[in-house]
Structure 1
Amino acid sequence: MIVYRIILSLAAPVVALLYLLRRLRGRITAADLRERLGGGPHTTAPDAPHGPDAPALWLHAASNGELASARPLISALLARDPALRLVITTNSLTGRALAQGWNDPRIAARLAPLDYRPLLRRFLRRHRPAALLLIESDLWLNRIFTLHRAGLPVMVISARMSARSAARWQRVAPRLARQLMTRLHGVSAQDSATEDRLRALGLPETRRLARVNLKAAVTLPAPDPAERDACRRVFDRAHTVLAASTHPGEEEIILDAFARAQIHDPALRLILAPRHPRRGDEVRRLIAARGLSLRRRAAGEAPTANAAVYLADTLGEMALWFDLACSSFIGGSLVPLGGHTPYEPAQRGTAILHGPHLQNFAAIYARLDAEGGARQISDAETLARGFLMPSAEARVMADTARRIAAEEAGDGQLDDLVAYIARVTQVSRSG
């Protein structure tokens, strides 16, 4: 732990310079920077919703995906205790915007404080949480040790740890890993493999909670029926493919695959939805460079029948795009980023295509592939073949994926988990 803190201290000038440059370039505001430094508006002010003494719970989700998956848990916690207020932190501006978009007066959305003890203590004084819920991962050491020292429980919900991450902990810092595990009040793993890895790193058996996979249980909000009907008049599902949550290095392969597929099916249409909408200009240039006609969602352009590509560079509309596509490539899997959730496309009834990099969801993708609910591709040629999949074959694949997703979700024991969190939080407040 001392070595970690020394490294952080040495890195502080570099971190400060990076944030200063982001501020000067207009990528973050002064208010954003204050939140990263543990500041920002108080949630314990006298005029705060439900008063300054209402119980608070700090929930951290690194990105949009984790935060969206936590929505059922958040709703259940707020429904159980009408006086509860939630301080939700994320690492991204889009994640914070997602939480703010829920328009719940009991939710305060902030950027997460950097992992420096003075900033964390400042954050705790400002918001006075009774406990911290970490969604999936993002196990920053100072954050966990600081809360533990303050007597505040830290729980990890739907915990996920890849074999690679576990091996790195064992190789580089096994003693620190054991210390970290013993400072977690409770851990609900999302699968048995993660549970075994955490045990091997030193998680006490008494801290193990029932397994819950939030991403399997989450349901995307249904798209507006009128909007969906309008889009269906333009997109023939049998000839529409989607590339969802794509990253740099993937769009080039996707566009090359689409161009190849269009030779065999000139009616084929592509909806391209980058993981981060801020990359819209960059992706638009890639499309234009290939001479493909396009329309862009963020520019307010409705899809038309004569545009080959629809650039869906917006947030909160993925259910609509899944509903329109016969087959969907799920990004983060052709580049070594670990892949993104297959549960959402499975629930929406679209055939799933993916690359080889799947460590974030290895178990569910392995089952989908084995039972015919998904197909792995490796390059533009194999992706083009996937885009040309007959619609009848795609329907069988989609039905299989939907069945598997429903089986994986189960009841999730979410009610028991919510009761446990409420009990721990109450004890923390009274203690």
Structure 2
Amino acid sequence: MKKDIQKRVVVGVLLMLLILVSGCSKKEDQTLKNFNVNQEPVKEATLSIYVPQGKNENYITKSIELYNKKYGADIKTNITNVTPGGSTTQMISPKMVAHEKMPEIIFIQDTNAAGILQLFSDSFLSASDFGFYDKYAADFYEPKVDVLNKMSEGGRATAFPNDFGVAVTYYQPELFKAVGANFEDINSWDELIDIGIKIKEKTGHQLLALSTAGEVEQVSAIMDQLDTPLMDSSGNINLGSKAAKISAETLQKLIDNNLIAWTTDSNGEKVKQDMAINLTGSFYASNMQMNFPSAKDKWRVAEFVPFSEENPGKTPLSGGSSWYVPKDCDYPLAAAQVLTFMLTDPDALKIALEEGVMISNREAFKTDAAHKEFEYFGNQKILEIVAKANENGAAINIFPNSTDSRAYVGAASYAYWKTNDFENSYVREATNFAKKYGLKVNK
């Protein structure tokens, strides 16, 4: 009798283990074996999504509504608004360490993703393994796909690509008109500086704003124009290079001619509204319309100022973000299918542009939405300008220490303004950064 009971217990335990193993196998089957771009669309799922409030939330929400309509599906969402930048990675890191249940989709800015991928590369499902890039890579701007490949283990992109932030020029046409100039006829930084001097003398407006604590964006932008990213493909720093020196000297000409207004973190956006130009990402167009509605018809958009007439240069990049699917979630296949749909379906790409997302799929710029006239910018078709700039985007490299490198750029530019000594500013800070991480300084 006792032996029969023991046998039954053993059989019961074995059956339970078999059920558990079978359940695990099914989950693994769904996550890995069936995780490919050619699967039939999932019709029912509830997707938890971490995304900042605003245009990207609107984009993914409206795209899922479109997915449901086109496929007769019932994909529901549970949105958690996150703060862009490092806050997102700080939020998800403890969950990944503890192998907690994760959301199906996470929005992460590219500059913050390198660090999280270094620590938790096995915690995300791969868009490359899904077959996304085999099928669609040619539709996306090469610098975007390239940087996602380089950030990922094995050189195959983990992320699904979202936006592509090329820098453009926002300029006040009336200030240029006041001195008989048209910004779009300018062929070089030197020519811009000459016209900036005239604008300052006649109107009192300065040309450009820089950070009083040390400039990062414009230093990197001019280096990008000269096809010299801040960090090379091996992670070594180019802050001591010829391109960095040219960048420093160009900005110094602006300072020497009193064409610069100085900003702090608290007043930067307002100060820039009074400048003749603002050099920043194409994404900022939607921000301007929302934050400064009274400036309607004050600004126009053009491609980034050419470096020189002989060498206009590459278009600098300014930001970018992507979407990630964690392994420890309930509906990975549905998440990947929804992302694929929203990043490739022509109607979903229209939604991206309509919401102000500068999507990295060039096919978006062939839709009707790309030819919209923007009343805020004097009825310009600004997305046509962005599309042209996108095709000339500079190559960049992003590493886990890329965010930290910005502090050294700022310190270098500040020291140069005080000393006009490249060796004791840019080269010195490049050396400090290189020593910290065991890297080389490229000169």
Structure 2 length as normaliser, TM-score? 0.30
Bigger radius of gyration: 2
Higher RCO, 1 vs 2 (CA within 8 Å, ≥6 residues apart): 2
Structure 1 length as normaliser, TM-score? 0.31
